[in-house]
Amino acid sequence: MVEELLIHKPDDPIQFLIDHLKQNNADAPRICVLGPAASGKTTVAMWLCKHLDAIRISQETLLSKETLALTKEAKAYKERKQKIPNALWANLIQERLSNVDCIKQGWILEGFPENQEQAWMLQSSGIFPRHVVVLYAPDMVLIERNSGKRLDPVTEEVYHTTFDWPSDELVQQRLVKPEDLSEEETSRKLLEYHRNFPGVFQIYQKILKSINADQPCMDVLSQVLTYVQTRHRSAAPFTPRIVFCGPPGSGKSLQAGLIAQKYHLVNICCGQLLKEAIADKTKLGELVKPYIDNGYPVPDKLVLKVLADRLNAPDCVANGWVLHGFPRDIEQGEELQKSHSPNRVFFFNLPYESIMERLSQRRTDPVTGERYHTTFRPAPTPVIQARLRQNPRDNEENIEKRVEAYYRNAAELEDFYEDAFYVNADQDPHVVFEFIESCIIKPLPCKKKLRKRARLIEMRLACLGTESQVNGQPPRVCSRPEVQNKEKVT
């Protein structure tokens, strides 16, 4: 968005940004398909347009678009058999890309820019492709291909007398031989392309991928599609706003502390925040105190006010934050989204048996306040062991109630956060931390890709479950069936 502001320099920046956000074209393709003559640019561009539902733009389509103001001027140059100026091409492309269909659906620019000057003009016009595909093949192969090239004037599709002849007789009859297909003319175009390409490569080298066009057509198309569907990593900094959700005992507090310590974030525990408000005797704390003292849940409005005050503090705004213990249901999630939208959400999954093992065996030393665990971290001396006490919250009956309360609303909360990451919390804390860290520093995947990947994973897990039942071995079951698949994936 800052890039767009610098390019367009609008008189009203706020309205410009609002209009920019309303376009909702963050995932719309912006692709250039380049290459020498007969390398297959048209075939690749048309196939991408069908697959991505984007608009194909080439020199031919621009000259045939009568609605564009500059088309007549460009045609006049062509009728006089003069070279169309680079500036005119750039203005023509800019005019076409400003149309609503290109903004909403995205575009595939075929065969342009042809040289460095044209690339500079596109940039000065604010036209920046996200992906640049360059097709290449040996010159002798390209010359041979060009001699058999045929064009369908109705659909503009390209065919070949040897490699790709249409089966429809009507299409065969209307195919025409393009102009300037002589070997000398093709050699001249190839020489000009090789002379100009290094300048284009220099400008687009960070987003450019070269693909060998001297291979089966489907292999070329598959490699092109794989590349244009990738998202480039951005080195731009962002302020982490992280939310940890999970059942009691899943390690949210531990991981929040580790993440906050390494990345200098503000560690916010919602329950602790309410206790601090009471201890500081703030106005909100006085309103919260009766609920805490009597063991009743604090109303969402009060919790959100206390939380909003903390999240609006300068350290949270500047450094970012990691929040755990909130939200607990979809209503709280919606309210948080309105005021302080998180950009990373993690759901911790842990089997019920592991939750019981972790919490029911926790003990506290009333003298030092140190925490111990009868299995994982026993007291170092018999004296300390004798004075350890168990928190009433950690008896099995209370643990069961807390777990049940979490899972009562967890499914709706998971559906609300579509881009959430799922963490298998039943493993070493350092392994869990490394996974969380990797999800924080990498870009978020596209929502469409997430949904597709989730469907594939669910299908695969369903097959694995069926296979294990056939073999006489029951599949692994999580404490909560609806998160079983997500836990296994992690």
pLDDT digits (tens, 9 = 90+) for 63-106: 887 666 788 888 888 888 888 888 888 888 988 888 888 888 89
pLDDT at position 469:
43
Average model confidence (pLDDT) for the chain? 83
DSSP helix/strand/coil, 193: helix
Q: Cis peptide leading into 327, omega within 30 of 0?
A: yes
CA distance 362 to 377: 9
Banded pLDDT at 433 (limits 50, 70, 90): very high
The two three-digit tokens of residue 416, written as one number: 């609300």
Residue 313 half-sphere exposure toward CB, CA atoms < 13 A? 15
Q: Is the pLDDT of residue 176 over 50?
A: yes
**Residue 458 in contact with residue 280, Cβ under 8 Å?**
no
Dump pLDDT digits (tens) for 250-303.
999 999 999 999 989 999 999 899 999 999 888 888 898 998 888 788 898 999
Check whether domain 1-229 has CATH 3.30.70.100, yes or no: no
pLDDT, mean of residues 420-435: 91
Banded pLDDT at 322 (limits 50, 70, 90): very high
Dump pLDDT digits (tens) for 377-418.
899 999 999 999 988 888 888 899 999 999 999 999 999 998
- Model confidence, pTM: 0.49
pLDDT at position 210:
94
Q: Which of 66-70, 163-167, 255-259, 365-369 has the highest mean pLDDT?
A: 255-259
**Residue 59 in contact with residue 90, Cβ under 8 Å?**
no
For the chain, percent of residues with pLDDT exceeding 70:
86
pLDDT, mean of residues 410-428: 91
Q: What CATH number does the domain located at 241-441 have?
A: 3.40.50.300
Among the listed ranges 71-75, 144-148, 160-164, which one has the minimum average pLDDT value? 160-164
pLDDT at position 473:
43
pLDDT at position 236:
58
Domain with CATH 3.40.50.300 in the chain: 1-229, 241-441
CA distance 255 to 312: 23
Q: Is the pLDDT of residue 445 over 70?
A: no
Q: Is the pLDDT of residue 121 over 80?
A: yes
Pairing state between β 149-151 and 158-160 = antiparallel
**Residue 142 in contact with residue 190, Cβ under 8 Å?**
yes
Q: What is the dihedral of CA 224, 230, 235, 237, to 10 degrees?
A: 150
Cα of 193 vs its chain's centroid, Å: 35
Tell me the Cα Rg of the chain: 31
pLDDT at position 345:
94
Banded pLDDT at 488 (limits 50, 70, 90): very low
**Residue 454 in contact with residue 447, Cβ under 8 Å?**
no
Q: Is the pLDDT of residue 226 over 80?
A: yes
pLDDT, mean of residues 345-371: 91
Where is pLDDT greater, at 354 or 184? 354
Q: Is the pLDDT of residue 447 over 60?
A: no
Q: Is the pLDDT of residue 224 over 90?
A: yes
Where does 289-343 show beta strands of DSSP type E?
321-324
Dump pLDDT digits (tens) for 457-474.
555 555 555 444 444 444
CA distance 156 to 43: 10
**Residue 225 in contact with residue 48, Cβ under 8 Å?**
yes
Place of tokens 């069926």: 466
Q: Residue type at 263?
A: Y
Among the listed ranges 298-307, 322-331, 437-446, which one has the minimum average pLDDT value? 437-446
